[in-house]
Amino acid sequence: MTTGADIVNSVSKYLDDQELGYEFTHWTEEELFEYLRMALDVIASTNRSKHSKHVEFPLVPGSLQTIPKNCVAPAVVGYTDVYGIVQPVRKLTKEPSSGIGKPLCSATTSGEYRLQSWAKSADDQNTVWVYPPVPQGVNTTMVVSCYSPPNPQTLEEELDIAPEERAAVFELMLYYAFGTDVESVPNRERSEAHFNKAFTILGVALTAAGTRKNVK
């Protein structure tokens, strides 16, 4: 699997900045690593579904459910039934108008409770409303999709990215590298060319995956 160091070294070689004894002279390894992180964030944002993971959170009594802040751009996928099977739920375009925040008082068991729908809170993206309200005594979880872009902390970390994404990352890193020289017209032109090539690669990749999106 590809590591951050693999891509950083490849970009540095392309920039002709790997002369023996003078490696990373014009663009430091730290700078290129930061360009890598920036490029990975851009790549992930063009295909959020691929760079998301499912996480389970316990439901609490009532309609209002708070999702931890470390879950970015959450979306409820479903809930686990009494057999541990994830059941899908319907997304509403607005908050439910009845039973808000009040847990049901009936002695409903966890096997009888069925989550039917959910809606985002207008005040906080990490707060959602669920319907029907969760009764007291119910012990189940909701499954949430959390945006989880690659976020390497060291050069040695392995990167879970597809080959076409690696190619786009390479081009975006060159876009950032050449873009630092704002006084040079040729480098500005190189920067723009690499930017366009990156999104051309992404456009082909997304179309091949069946996703018709304008990524520019």
Q: State whether 159 and 119 are in the same domain.
A: no
Q: Assess if residue 216 is contained within a domain.
A: no
Question: Given this model, what pLDDT does residue 33 score?
Answer: 98
Rounded mean pLDDT, 106-124: 75
Q: State whether 77 and 95 are in the same domain.
A: yes
Q: Assess if residue 173 is contained within a domain.
A: yes
pLDDT per position as a tens digit, 18-61: 999 999 999 999 999 999 999 999 999 888 888 999 999 999 99
Q: What percent of the chain has pLDDT over 90?
A: 68
Q: State whether 122 and 78 are in the same domain.
A: yes
Strands (E), 24-155: 52-58, 62-66, 72-80, 86-88, 90-91, 117-120, 127-134, 141-147
pLDDT per position as a tens digit, 82-110: 889 999 999 997 765 544 444 444 334 44
pTM attached to this predicted model:
0.73
Structural domain span for residue 158:
4-47+150-208
**Phi, psi dihedral angles at 137 (to 5 degrees):** 90, -5
Q: State whether 34 and 91 are in the same domain.
A: no
Q: Assess if residue 162 is contained within a domain.
A: yes
Q: Assess if residue 215 is contained within a domain.
A: no
Place of tokens 């509403």: 92
Question: Given this model, what pLDDT does residue 212 score?
Answer: 36
